[in-house]
Amino acid sequence: MTEKETAETTPAHTSAPAVELTEELREEYAQLIDSVRAARAAYYDRDAPTISDADYDQLYRRLEELEALHPSIIANDSPTQEVGGSANEAFAPVQHLARMYSLEDVFSLEELSAWLAKTAENAQTLASHSPRWLTELKIDGLAVNLLYRNGSLVRAATRGDGTTGEDVTHNVLTIGTIPTRLAGENHPEEIEIRGEVFISSADFLTLNESMVAAGKAPFANPRNAAAGSLRQKDASITAQRPLSMFVHGVGARTQVLDAAGEPITRQSQIYDLLASWGLPVSPYSRVLDTREEILDYIASYGEKRHSLVHEIDGIVIKIDDFAVQEQLGYTSRVPRWAVAYKYPPEEVNTKLLDIRVDVGRTGRVTPYAVMEPVFVSGSTVERATLHNQDVVKAKGVLIGDTVVLRKAGDIIPEIVGPVVALRDGSEREFVMPSTCPSCGSALAPGKEGDVDLRCTNPASCPAQLTERIFYAASRGAFDIEALGFEAAKALTSPVGEPVLTSEAQLFDLTPDMLEHVMVEREKKVKGVPTGKLEQLPYFWTKATKSRESKPSKTTMNLMDQLQKAKSQPLWRVLVALSIRHVGPTAARALAAAFGSMDAIRSASREDLAQVDGVGETIADSIREWFSVDWHAEIVDAWAVAGVRMEDEVDESLERTLEGLTVVVTGTLSQFTRDSAKEAIISRGGKASGSVSKKTSFVVAGPAAGSKLDKAQALGVPVLDEEGFAALLAGGPAAVESLIK
């Protein structure tokens, strides 16, 4: 539903063959009306949705489908015949001077392309030229209509049913970004300005933390937080909420002139005018000319939608020309000149079955959610991290809750919050354990002031050792592909005695040592699980009557890869040690500065801290790590096994990038991300992962995203791969003519 602009898509079934209108279909239709109405009431009137946007859209589209197949069935009270929600009796009703319409929703790029083609054809017939498209983000907030007379704000109202909304003037006056008096001169005698009230993503987290701390239920998402805040009877409560607004259109108005006294003819022009009046206008809108540009815009913001100021659920595309808008007109509910493309659903509802804890490689104990499996953003999800006990409390989730789940950045499953309205009293609070679930040792903060709890037995905790072995084998460290998590677990926590009790033994492994490593697997008969467990060899094939057990192919690959790992550069060895705060960036800097493990090991805190990209925190962590006996034994054992502990300096490489900071983004054909960083560092430069005013160059390959955008916004020189090669060879002077 988001924004909540209900859809009137043109059903794809209008040309389908007739289907008999059975009693079952009539019953389904009646149930759909009830379900959609109930969902709308929960969303609009109580600001407490009970189903996800994706579920609502599915119900609504099925309702449209039945009405398209059987027009005679359409009821006068069908939700498809209405706009938005009803007015709340707690606020005085307000009749808008011009109706506030919903937008037609499309859910695929194919649907959008069809709409663009049809609308462009109609517009060209009317205007004799191809339309330009005003393209903007679809804010997940609450639609509000501001009425200004002679430059003064006289009324603010919610959209309501499109014709009549709720008077929320007193509450809107508490939003600091909305002017009570417009700046400048020559304001229209009367103008309705439409926009979206929202709470930023950062402010939403802070608000929910304060709600939970006060013993109140948290909001499920930023949209509901904004709606609930704006519809407070007590405006002083609204004033305490971090509400913002972006304006994105106009309704009824007398003549509007630009700064030169000329009539406004395009909607993008009026955005500039609204900004000059002191109204908050979105920085993300663009005027585009082609379908390809619109699709690029959609793809770009789809990638960075969670790094924006506010949450979005789609993109709005409008014809920019006011005259063409007026000629195309409206259906009963939507303008024919605008559409909303909705991204695939990210938020779904599911049941939180349990909250358990996991132990990481540094001993950090992390709560995670176990949920009923649910499909979201392209995959089935049944687990999501909850970070620490304070986050669980801040989100206000209880075991047994129905929760809102999304994928942050389309990748990481994240619980947004509970659906409080669906609680039945059987839910229970999560209690953080006081002992490690792996080894039974006490849990405690790593240092005073830490929120995270850690296992106090790092040397012998099986869970920590498993994670450290897995991390040492990861692509950013030794890059041992055959040593994945399951293999690491088999080596450290198998059925029976572990093969490894310390990562110091990693390079001593032989195939014979792995022969008796057994793991438990669910027993299957002819491929069907039996519900019983059986013990199976992990690294060797299972012996049968006809053949003897022997090392598996994976095991032999593991042996080969362990040998190759001994020759990895020093920075990868440093990463593999799991020194807290020492990731690839700091490790590269340390290796470049000191050249050998012995030099790093004997360096003072001051010498370590002076390395660019290291600093005092990392320096303290390194000194503390090497002061522990069993840590030092790991380095010594690896050195005896033949692991490379010193980098060979290539004297032939000129320090062409001395003092420069270079950011690489996108895909390069001749460099991996790691080899590009190594090329920069070996020539005296700093390879950074973020763009700032201090960045010297950004190297942008295909699929470069937000880093390229930021570089262009800051005026940082941008190079392609050819320019990067030239920069490496000759420094800044070699690329003066190539800078984009």
Where in the sequence numbering do the catalytic residues fall? 138
3-state secondary structure (DSSP) of residue 495: strand
CA distance readout (Å), 485 to 158, 191, 245, 258, 693: 53, 62, 47, 64, 40
Distance from C-alpha of 250 to C-alpha of 257, rounded to nearest angstrom: 14
The type of residue at 493 is S
Contact 700, 708 (CB under 8 A): yes
Residues ≥6 apart with Cβ < 8 Å to 564: none
Distance from C-alpha of 57 to C-alpha of 377, rounded to nearest angstrom: 15
Among 532, 625, 531, CA closest to 577 = 625
* Phi and psi at residue 542, to the nearest 5°: -80, 130
User: Which two structure tokens, joined as six digits, stand for 529?
Assistant: 């699980």
Contact 282, 267 (CB under 8 A): no
User: Which two structure tokens, joined as six digits, stand for 403?
Assistant: 């929760």
Tell me which residue has tokens 């005695």.
Answer: 497
Tell me which residue has tokens 């050195």.
Answer: 639
Distance from C-alpha of 3 to C-alpha of 338, rounded to nearest angstrom: 15
Residues ≥6 apart with Cβ < 8 Å to 518: 494, 495, 496, 535, 536, 537, 538
- What count of residues does the chain have? 740
Distance from C-alpha of 75 to C-alpha of 112, rounded to nearest angstrom: 29
DSSP, residue by residue, 124-168: HHHHSSPPPEEEEEEESSEEEEEEEETTEEEEEEE-TTSSEEEB-
Please, is 236 exposed, middle or buried when counting C-beta atoms within 10 Å of its C-beta (0-12, 13-18, 19+)? exposed
The type of residue at 206 is T
HSE of 513, CA atoms in CB hemisphere, 13 A: 16
Q: What proportions of the chain, in percent to the nearest 5, are helix, strand and coil?
A: 35, 25, 40
Distance from C-alpha of 382 to C-alpha of 571, rounded to nearest angstrom: 36
DSSP character at residue 549: -
User: Which two structure tokens, joined as six digits, stand for 66?
Assistant: 């039945």
Residues ≥6 apart with Cβ < 8 Å to 740: 717, 718, 719, 720
DSSP character at residue 42: I
Cα dihedral value 578, 580, 581, 585, nearest 10: -20
Distance from C-alpha of 642 to C-alpha of 630, rounded to nearest angstrom: 19
Distance from C-alpha of 656 to C-alpha of 650, rounded to nearest angstrom: 14
Distance from C-alpha of 395 to C-alpha of 218, rounded to nearest angstrom: 6
Distance from C-alpha of 636 to C-alpha of 641, rounded to nearest angstrom: 9
* Phi and psi at residue 245, to the nearest 5°: -150, 140
C-alpha Rg value of the chain to the nearest Å: 31
